[in-house]
Amino acid sequence: QFKLADIGEGIAEVQLTEWFVKEGDMVKEMDNVCAVESDKASVELTSPYTGKVVKVHHKVQDTVKVGSVLIDVETGDSSAPTSSPPKPQPTPAAAPSAPSAPSGGVQQFKLADIGEGIAEVQLTEWFVKEGDMVKEMDNVCAVESDKASVELTSPYTGKVVKVHHKVQDTVKVGSVLIDVETGDSSAPTSSPPKPQPTPAAAPSAPSAPSGGVQQFKLADI
């Protein structure tokens, strides 16, 4: 599920001005999904997932609150977990991340497209460090462009296992900010793969409860 994350600056809701996808469309990670407008800016939101749009939750001109689900994306990881590893999407990410982190459920939180032609931002503050526990919608870091300064919130609940940038670093759109161990894998002993205890559980469809459908919330702008 792709939800509307906290946009910062005290904004609690936005107006949905345009859809670039409809139910049944295929989307790729970083494809434009919709345009939203607050009283401060108008931005286009990009998908953190690759898959098929199975449900659109709002219509054009709807007012969408922070945390609301925008679309459901069927990533197909539950039916073919072995073919998904190349892309670090929310659930299958476990497999490719396994070698670098001892966990079967490591998700990568990337910097979404901020719109307005902005290709990179400066990281001004971290609110978390490696080893910290974060909840969905917790503030993770603050970034600044030449147009605005915003705080980005986590789409995952879990443990921060890696921080990829330092304060004052310039971060490009699409870059990974942090790795979060969500603890999706619960049965390390049942899996044959080589990486140590927990990563082994990666291929055993950690996304089973959701049936391969991810919700896309409004990414940070």
Q: What is the 3-state secondary structure (H, E, C) of 126-150?
A: ECCCCCCEECCCCEEEEEECCCCEE
Per-residue confidence (pLDDT) for residue 60, from 0 to 100: 93
Instruction: Please tell me which of 11-15, 114-118, 183-187, 203-207 the model is most confident about, judged by mean pLDDT.
Output: 11-15
Q: Average the pLDDT over 186-208 and give the result.
A: 39
**What mean pLDDT value characterizes the chain?**
75
Kindly report, residue by residue over 156-176, the tens digit of the pLDDT.
899 999 999 999 999 988 889
- Residue 191 · residue 103 · CB < 8 Å: no
Q: How far is CA 175 from CA 99, 170, 182, 205, 208, in A?
A: 19, 10, 20, 25, 27
* Cα separation, 5 vs 217, whole angstroms: 6
3-state secondary structure of 202: coil
Residue-wise pLDDT for 135-158, tens only, equals 888 999 998 888 777 888 888 899
Q: Return the closest-CA partner of residue 165 out of 153, 183, 177.
A: 177
Cα separation of 32 and 114, whole Å? 11
- Answer yes or no: are the C-beta atoms of 89 and 77 closer than 8 Å: yes
pLDDT, residue 107, reads: 87
Question: What's the pLDDT band for 16 if we cut at 50, 70, 90?
Answer: very high
Distance set, CA 190 to CA 128, 197, 199, 203 (Å) = 33, 10, 11, 10
Task: Give residue-wise pLDDT tens across range 177-187.
Answer: 999 998 764 43
Instruction: Check residues 134 and 104 and name the one with the higher pLDDT.
Output: 134
Is the overall model pTM greater than 0.95, yes or no? no
pLDDT digits 0-9 by tens, 31-70 = 989 988 888 778 888 888 899 999 999 999 999 988 889 9
CA gap 161, 180 in Å, rounded: 6
Backbone angles phi, psi at 202, to 5 degrees: -50, -55
Q: Which two tokens stand for residue 54?
A: 């199975």
